[in-house]
Amino acid sequence: MNFLAHLHLADNSKTNLAANLAGDFAKGNIADHPKALQQGIWLHRQIDILTDSHELTKELKAAFPKTLQRAAPILIDLSFDHMLAKYWEEYHHLPLTDFAQQAYQALSSAEELPGKLSDIIMRMQQENWLIAYESREGLNQTIQAVSRRVSKPEIFDGAIDTVKRMDTEIEIAFRTFYPQLMAYSRIWTRQTPPEYL
């Protein structure tokens, strides 16, 4: 899952939006991070573990060409955000534009966020990243941006065409898996280790 899904799952589980997103940037022991972020980081990690290990996502990853196997997990995360944005009204009571503004506000007002997350919040809001996921063009631009940030951008060669060609398989996997993930995120919230509360 990428930014939009983690924010949506935080809202779905009634936990801290900024803390959940911080999980992408918070390395090492959870206890070493500010108390206000610990539950969100823990939940973020549970979401990532299930996403990476679930049979549906493993099958989807295997369907990518061999040349894209290293990039496939990232492409799946980005594509799932695209599917969530595309069908947003099925998963949330607020319009995506309203939710995005709430998320940007939560991120902007949060304290003690990891430095790398703090550094991108303004750009995320100015370029409206959460809304960009809704269109195919926005997804393509995100894939290109991610490929420029990795040490071996060639692992993304052909990614945009492949993701477009696999649109149906990606949508089926997302629509089957994501409701399960929503349910698990609510369960995990109740099972958060007490030391992270």
As separate numbers, helices (DSSP H) first and strands (DSSP E) second, the chain gives: 11, 0
User: What single letter denotes the amino acid at residue 19?
Assistant: A
Would you call 101 helix, strand, or coil by DSSP?
A: helix
- pTM reported for the whole predicted model: 0.95
In the prediction, which pLDDT does 155 show? 95
Dihedral angle of Cα 87, 91, 94, 96, to the nearest 10 degrees? -40
In the prediction, which pLDDT does 122 show? 92
- Using one digit for the tens of pLDDT, what is the confidence trace for 38-95? 999 999 999 999 999 999 999 999 999 999 999 999 999 999 999 999 999 999 999 9
- Cα–Cα distance for residue pair 86/97, rounded to 1 Å: 12
* Residue bearing tokens 């022991």: 29
Report the length, in residues, of the chain: 197
135 phi-psi bin (left φ>0, alpha ψ -120 to 50, beta other):
beta
Q: Which residues of the chain have pLDDT under 50?
A: none
Tell me 105's DSSP state. H
* Residue bearing tokens 């003690």: 112
Nearest to 87 by CA among 192, 185, 170: 170
Nearest to 82 by CA among 166, 192, 16: 166
In the prediction, which pLDDT does 154 show? 94
Show the CA angle centred on residue 97, arms to residues 126 and 90, nearest 5°.
Answer: 140
- Cα–Cα distance for residue pair 37/42, rounded to 1 Å: 9
What separation in angstroms does the CA of 153 have from each of 66, 144, 145, 188? 16, 9, 10, 35
* Residue bearing tokens 């679930």: 54
User: What single letter denotes the amino acid at residue 70?
Assistant: R
What's the token pair of residue 133? 């996921």
What's the token pair of residue 62? 């295997």
What's the token pair of residue 11? 């809202």
